[in-house]
A and B are shown apart, each in its own frame.
Chain A
Amino acid sequence: MRPRIDLLGPELTDLIIAEAVGLLGSVGVAIEDEQTLELLASHGAVSHRSRSNGAGTDPGPCRVRLGEELIQRTLATAPPGFQLFDLAGVPAYAVDGSTTSFVPASAATRLLDQNEARPPRTADLIACARLVEQLPGLAAQSTAMVPADVPELVSDSWRLYLSLLHCTKPVVTGAFSLEGLGVIEALLEAARGDAEALRSHPLAVLTCCPTSPLGWSRTSSRTLIRCARRGIPVEIVAMPLAGFIAPVTLTGTLVQQTAETLAGLVIHQLAAPGAPLLWGTAAAIFDIRYETAPIGAVETMMMACGSARIGQKLGLPTQAYIALSDAKLLDAQAGLETSMGATLAVLAGIDSVSGPGMLDLINCFSLEKLVLDHEICCMAGRIGRGLEPTDDQPVQPLIEELLEQRHLLIADHTLRNIATEINLPGSTIDRASRERWLADGAQTLGHRAHAEAQRLLQHAPPLAVPWAEALSDRRRELDRIMLEAARAAGAEHLPETGTGAAACSP
């Protein structure tokens, strides 16, 4: 039995949903984009234009009231789950309430390198993708960092391009602009073969974020619409900050987050009923001492669990930014915040967890932390499978065998069950005797994680999907799309892609 926790309870869950629906019907949601406004209006949503700040001449965004009937109608078309496929088109993982899948967090602007935070480079993204490929506890890759060595205009598509070249797992990504979204769509279609194949075998999830409080920007709402129409799954990730741009109470913030996410769902499902989406969240508290939004705070984690419960009540697959840390280094805080988050995520039944590898208020990625977090994810996943009877009851025959053989180390029962019953962590986790630990050099966690990351990178096997062979046509198309986008962005030189191909030199 999968163990579960519910921090809200059924009555409070229903109350939050009802209040969020009421909020959308009375206060409404601010929409910047004309196309989105037309879409909503064509389905009966009532809009009115308000001044952006009450004093200026800027008419500001339109505020749209979404009625309960419209919300219920779109909720009814949203699918309860969906399947993601790897680069070869093989089923990779499902988000359908059956298990928690872990994905590296996204979009760090710094990389922790020898305890120094520096801007990430192309080589760092390649290393990250190659690590994720080899860490079985991570279901998907993400475009974890924003590369600083390419023009800003293509920094979103360039990181996806690298991910596709160096890792076969599905990818969680996002667009920084509508121009970038166009390149991303083209890259995904090229990688899959064509638009229909991408629709039937989704390869990526795009993150779309409302603007708290209760707003949807032009880029985000257009991304929702375009992804829905192409069948590219999205995760709607609101980030209201409790006590700053949302009520200080956690349930109050959850009402706001629910309203913001529901508004996105309405836009998405009106654009293409039945299109796949995840009910996500990055709702956080606001720390008044440091003016930061700590994603590793316990209250932030509680809101992630609460959001998941709300999503589950609405019959949707769920996502959250959790299992990450605000620490600046790979220290005890990094471990405790990540572990607590991963464990809570599993117990709350969150389908897709965005977190591993991330530090410093979602600003700094660490390859060493990714390796450590992979162990945390595997441990949390083990908790998620729970305590279950296997084929050993009644136990008496086993005890008799034990008394006769003096141990059960190679008993048939042991060999049959050990791999699923006991999670054996990698070398990052220290379980050695003190003597062996000393003999191995008395390595700290940081040393061990660094050594493991380096070992994995140095011994990375070739990709299971050989770009140079079976998918050479698709590879050429990827290169062409990226090259064209880079030229348009004014790139004079692009970094090496680490594939041995001279595809990108505009």
Chain B
Amino acid sequence: MQPLSELARSLCAGDDASTVRLTRAAIDAGTPPEIILSDGLIAGMKVIGEQFRRHEVFLPAVLLAARAMHRGMELLRPLLAAAEVSGQGTVVLGTVRGDVHDIGKNLVAIMLEGAGYEVVDLGHDVPAERFVEAVEQSGARVVGLSALLTTTMSAMADVIAELTRHGLREPGTGSGQAGVRVLVGGAPLNAEIARSLGADAYCPDASSAAASVASLLEE
């Protein structure tokens, strides 16, 4: 059997055919699915994510790797479910009410999916109540809010208030202990504005999204 490092390399190269072949070979060799996931697929995504963060590769390379990961996951997912192994986590994403710009939010979704997160993408012009519903339905521990306009970024505070009003920000809610954490991003924001809105983190660009979510989940 090829070592899982080979699988990680094929994923980094965006070679989905090799990724499928090596994933199947690892399964056939009796490697536990959670090990194939962590030491092969996620390990490869971490490498490409780091290269992307250092601007050594560009977005398409990450997406090709993500596509390869998706192909590998198609083989692993039933085995992981049978073994009751949970994934990286779920993130609810959306552009807030009044704002129809979603390119940045879409990039963040792509990056998070590539990093192994389940993404519930609510689209654009999303009312605060819809975020609450999605968190309650998915058990997500992170909500990502996007806004392009200075006139709409105040709606982010509305979403945070709505999550708080439903008690979802309290420890022990959602699927984790720390309560739902909120990540915000978009052209008019910076870290200071994010804090003033009551957000837990500010995400300056798509490349830092996965690291920001991971950091929030570790808190």
Interface residues of A in 401-421 (CB under 8 A from B): 406-407, 409-410, 414-415, 418
Pairwise interchain contact A433-B205, C-beta atoms closer than 8 A: yes
Interface string of A418-447 (1 = CB under 8 A from B): 100000000000000101100100000000
Binding stretch for chain A, among B40-48, B59-67, B71-79, B155-163: B59-67
Pairwise interchain contact B60-A410, C-beta atoms closer than 8 A: yes
| B106 at interface, CB cutoff 8 A | yes
* With A409-B60, A410-B64, A415-B60: A433-B204 Cβ-Cβ less than 8 Å: yes
* CA gap between A455 and B152 in the complex, in Å: 43
| B182 at interface, CB cutoff 8 A | no
Q: Closest residue of chain A to B59, judged by CB?
A: A409
Pairwise interchain contact A436-B59, C-beta atoms closer than 8 A: no
Pairwise interchain contact B205-A406, C-beta atoms closer than 8 A: no
B170 CB → nearest A CB, Å: 31
Pairwise interchain contact B204-A439, C-beta atoms closer than 8 A: yes
Contact among A406, A418, A439 for B106, CB-based, below 8 A: A406
Pairwise interchain contact B67-A410, C-beta atoms closer than 8 A: yes
Interface of A is mostly: helix
* CA gap between A409 and B59 in the complex, in Å: 8
Q: Which residues of B contact A415 (CB under 8 A)?
A: 60
Pairwise interchain contact B205-A407, C-beta atoms closer than 8 A: no
* CA gap between A195 and B14 in the complex, in Å: 50
| B150 at interface, CB cutoff 8 A | no
B19 CB → nearest A CB, Å: 14
* CA gap between A407 and B110 in the complex, in Å: 10
Pairwise interchain contact A407-B204, C-beta atoms closer than 8 A: no
| B164 at interface, CB cutoff 8 A | no
Interface residues of A in 359-411 (CB under 8 A from B): 406-407, 409-410
Pairwise interchain contact B106-A435, C-beta atoms closer than 8 A: no
Q: Which residues of A contact B31 (CB under 8 A)?
A: none
Question: How many inter-chain contacts with C-beta < 8 Å in the A-B complex?
Answer: 23
Pairwise interchain contact A409-B63, C-beta atoms closer than 8 A: yes
| B5 at interface, CB cutoff 8 A | no
Contact among B59, B67, B205 for A435, CB-based, below 8 A: B205
B105 CB → nearest A CB, Å: 11
* CA gap between A281 and B192 in the complex, in Å: 57
Q: Which residues of A contact B59 (CB under 8 A)?
A: 409
Pairwise interchain contact B60-A436, C-beta atoms closer than 8 A: no
* CA gap between A415 and B15 in the complex, in Å: 14
Q: Closest residue of chain B to A407, judged by CB?
A: B106
Q: Closest residue of chain B to A433, judged by CB?
A: B205
* With A406-B106, A410-B67: A435-B204 Cβ-Cβ less than 8 Å: yes
Interface residues of B in 148-190 (CB under 8 A from A): 190
* CA gap between A33 and B110 in the complex, in Å: 73
* CA gap between A407 and B102 in the complex, in Å: 12
Contact among B63, B106, B190 for A410, CB-based, below 8 A: B63
* CA gap between A415 and B60 in the complex, in Å: 9
Q: Closest residue of chain A to B121, judged by CB?
A: A406
Interface residues of B in 176-216 (CB under 8 A from A): 190, 204-205
Interface residues of B in 49-96 (CB under 8 A from A): 59-60, 63-64, 67
* CA gap between A439 and B203 in the complex, in Å: 13
* CA gap between A436 and B208 in the complex, in Å: 11
Q: Which residues of A contact B63 (CB under 8 A)?
A: 409-410
B68 CB → nearest A CB, Å: 11
* CA gap between A436 and B205 in the complex, in Å: 8
Known: A409-B63, A435-B205, A436-B204. 20 other contacts (CB 8 A): A406-B106, A407-B106, A407-B110, A409-B59, A409-B60, A409-B110, A410-B14, A410-B60, A410-B63, A410-B64, A410-B67, A414-B60, A415-B60, A418-B60, A433-B204, A433-B205, A435-B190, A435-B204, A436-B205, A439-B204
What are 21 A-B contacts with C-beta separation under 8 Å?
A: A406-B106, A407-B106, A407-B110, A409-B59, A409-B60, A409-B63, A410-B14, A410-B60, A410-B63, A410-B64, A410-B67, A414-B60, A415-B60, A418-B60, A433-B204, A433-B205, A435-B190, A435-B204, A435-B205, A436-B205, A439-B204
6 closest Cβ contacts across the A-B interface?
A435-B204, A410-B63, A409-B60, A409-B63, A410-B60, A410-B64
